């Protein structure tokens, strides 16, 4: 499997399941078998993952990424053995950091829910091809990750303003908006990736989509109350 298919969710899921460490192995950089250079994406994903691990209180050395060819069996054995030794030195996940396991699991659950949002916000950096190892440690900064999580917003369609034009529903990249003719639209928060497309495309004369930061999203109208009653002309 191409290492370019390694997703941030895979790393976080492994940690959520109690894995003490995660190892990613990929082809040598600039030697991609599929010409997609997916190993650069894997590298950036690993660098982002390590910063997020720091953010939730985990030692980033619990995640390792190495690049080698299929013929380097000895090197593979060496790097994996070294990684296993390092993880054993760090101790069990959470315990080694002095963190409560349930608290850590709760933090990872929150971050996992934000994976689509994180990937959307950082998509351009994740596509970058880093050619200098000296850039690795500073490509994603602690301050950048802190700002990333501070900036998380939710979007809500105000029932009194929605005119059921269906523009937001058609443009939503993940089909997270429940829509029907003459019915107030509702954003499914579990599907929403916080990209803000709905707010961008909502007609200015309606201004029905509200961006919420640091506050809970109001509960949606029940299905029986979503019908828009329009006044007759004249």
Cα first-last separation, the chain: 65
What is the pLDDT, as a whole number, of residue 64? 97
Class of domain 154-225: alpha beta
pLDDT tens for each residue of the chain, 234 residues long: 788 899 999 999 999 999 999 999 999 998 887 778 889 999 999 999 999 999 999 999 999 999 998 889 999 999 999 999 999 999 999 999 999 999 999 999 989 989 988 998 899 999 999 999 999 999 999 999 999 998 888 999 999 999 999 999 999 999 999 999 999 999 999 889 888 999 999 999 999 999 998 788 999 999 999 999 877 655
Strand partners, 187: 177
- The residue count for the chain: 234
> What residues does each domain of the chain span?
3-150, 154-225
The Cα–Cα gap between 23 and 29 comes to 17
C-alpha 180: how far from its chain's center? Answer: 29
What is the pLDDT, as a whole number, of residue 150? 87
What is the pLDDT, as a whole number, of residue 233? 58
What is the pLDDT, as a whole number, of residue 195? 87
> With a threshold of 0.75, does the pTM exceed it?
yes
The Cα–Cα gap between 67 and 209 comes to 45
Q: What is the 3-state secondary structure (H, E, C) of the chain?
A: CCHHHCCHHHHHHHHHCCCCCEEEEECCCCCCCCCCCHHHHHHHHHHHHHHHHHHCCCCHHHEEEEECCCCCHHHHHHHHHHHHHHHHHHCCCCCCCCCCHHHHHHHHHHHHHCHHHHHHHCHHHHCCCCCCHHHHHHHCCHHHHHHHHHCCCEEEECCCCCCCCCHHHHHCCCCCEEEECCEEEEECCCCCCCCCHHHHHCCCCCCCEEEECCCCCCCCCCHHHCECCCCCCC
What is the pLDDT, as a whole number, of residue 49? 98
Contact (Cβ atoms closer than 8 angstroms) between residue 117 and residue 193 = yes
Going by C-alpha positions, the residue among 154, 162, 122 that lies closest to residue 218 is: 154
């Amino acid at each position: 499997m191409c290492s370019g298919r390694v997703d941030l969710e895979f790393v976080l899921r492994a940690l959520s399941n109690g894995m003490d460490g995660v190892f990613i192995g990929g082809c040598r950089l600039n030697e991609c078998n599929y010409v997609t250079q997916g190993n650069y994406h894997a590298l950036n994903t690993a660098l982002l993952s390590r910063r997020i691990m720091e953010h939730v209180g985990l030692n980033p050395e619990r995640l390792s990424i190495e690049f080698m060819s299929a013929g380097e069996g000895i090197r593979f054995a060496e790097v994996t053995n070294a990684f296993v030794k390092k993880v054993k030195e760090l101790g069990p996940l959470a315990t080694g950091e002095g963190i409560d396991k349930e608290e850590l699991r709760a933090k990872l659950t929150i971050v996992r829910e934000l994976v689509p949002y994180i990937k959307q916000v950082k998509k351009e950096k994740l596509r970058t091809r880093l050619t200098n190892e000296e850039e690795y440690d500073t490509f994603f900064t602690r301050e950048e990750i802190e700002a990333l999580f501070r900036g998380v917003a939710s979007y809500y369609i105000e029932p009194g303003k929605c005119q059921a034009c269906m523009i937001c529903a058609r443009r939503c990249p993940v089909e997270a908006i429940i829509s029907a003719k003459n019915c107030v639209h509702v954003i499914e928060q579990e599907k929403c990736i916080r990209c803000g497309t709905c707010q961008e495309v909502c007609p200015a004369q309606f201004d029905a989509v509200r961006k919420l930061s640091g506050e809970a999203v109001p509960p949606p109208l029940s299905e029986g109350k979503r019908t828009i009653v329009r006044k007759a002309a004249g």
